[in-house]
C-alpha cells in the first residue's frame, strides 16, 4: 500500500508535465501523417494513464489522514516548498517535452526514463519535489516541534497555512512521508 501511495505521489508530481505532453501528442495526432498515428495513439494512451494516476495522487495531498491530531509547539521551521522547482522544470519538463512519441525508439526511451525516475522518486521519498503542491497553494516545511510530553521531533509538514515559530498547531503525524498541520483555532 505504501508503494502505491508513493507511485501516486510520483505521478502527481508529473501531472502538469503530462497534461502539456498530452496536448502536444493530441495535436500531432490530429495533424500528423497517418503512418505515425498508431505510435502517437499509443503514447496518448500511456500519458492518459499517467494523468489518471496523477489525479488519484491528489487524494493523499488534499485529505487528512484518518488519525488523531496532536497539539505541538513549533520551535524551528524551514520552508522547503520552492527549493527544488527550478531543477524540476529545467531538467524534467524541458527534457520530456522534446520527445516525439511517433518514433518507437523515443517511446521506449520515454517509458524507460519515466520508470527510472519513478524508482528514484519512490526509493528516496522525494514527494516534496512536486509543483502540483504549489499550484494547490500548499506549503512544505521542515519543522521541529515539541509536544506536551516534551518529546521533540523533526518532520516534513504539508499545510495550507503559514507556520510561525512559537505557535501551537494541530499535527496529524502520519506513518507516511509527511505530516499534515492545521491551525488550532481556524476561525480567528
- Tens of pLDDT, residue by residue over 115-152, are 888 888 888 877 777 777 777 788 888 899 998 778 88
Strands 152-159 and 168-172: unpaired
- Tens of pLDDT, residue by residue over 60-107, are 666 666 667 788 899 999 888 766 666 666 656 666 667 776 677 877
- Locate cell 512559537: which residue? 166
> CA distances (Å), 16 to each of 28, 35, 126, in order?
19, 29, 17
Kindly give, in sequence order, each residue whose CB lies less than 8 Å from that of residue 171, ignoring residues fewer than 6 positions away: 69, 70, 71, 72, 145, 155, 157, 179, 180, 181
- Residues 19 and 26: their CA atoms lie apart, in Å, by 10
For residue 13, which phi and psi values (nearest 5 degrees)?
A: -65, -30
Which pTM does this prediction carry? 0.70
Amino acid at each position: 500500500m505504501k508503494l502505491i501511495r508513493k507511485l501516486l505521489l510520483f505521478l502527481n508530481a508529473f501531472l502538469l508535465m503530462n497534461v502539456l505532453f498530452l496536448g502536444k501528442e493530441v495535436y500531432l495526432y490530429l495533424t500528423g501523417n497517418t503512418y505515425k498515428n498508431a505510435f502517437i495513439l499509443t503514447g496518448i494512451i500511456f500519458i492518459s494513464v499517467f494523468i489518471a494516476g496523477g489525479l488519484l495522487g491528489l487524494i493523499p495531498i488534499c485529505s487528512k489522514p484518518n488519525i488523531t491530531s496532536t497539539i505541538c509547539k513549533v520551535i524551528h521551521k524551514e520552508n522547503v516548498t520552492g527549493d527544488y522547482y527550478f531543477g524540476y522544470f529545467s531538467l524534467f519538463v524541458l527534457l520530456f517535452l522534446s520527445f516525439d512519441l511517433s518514433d518507437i525508439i523515443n517511446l521506449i526511451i520515454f517509458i524507460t526514463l519515466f520508470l527510472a525516475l519513478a524508482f528514484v522518486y519512490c526509493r528516496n521519498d522525494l514527494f516534496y519535489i512536486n509543483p502540483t503542491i504549489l499550484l494547490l497553494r500548499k506549503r512544505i516545511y521542515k519543522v521541529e516541534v515539541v509536544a506536551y510530553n516534551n518529546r521533540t521531533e523533526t518532520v516534513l509538514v504539508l499545510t495550507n497555512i503559514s507556520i510561525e515559530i512559537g505557535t501551537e498547531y494541530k499535527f496529524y503525524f502520519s506513518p507516511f512521508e509527511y505530516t499534515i498541520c492545521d491551525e488550532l483555532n481556524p476561525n480567528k
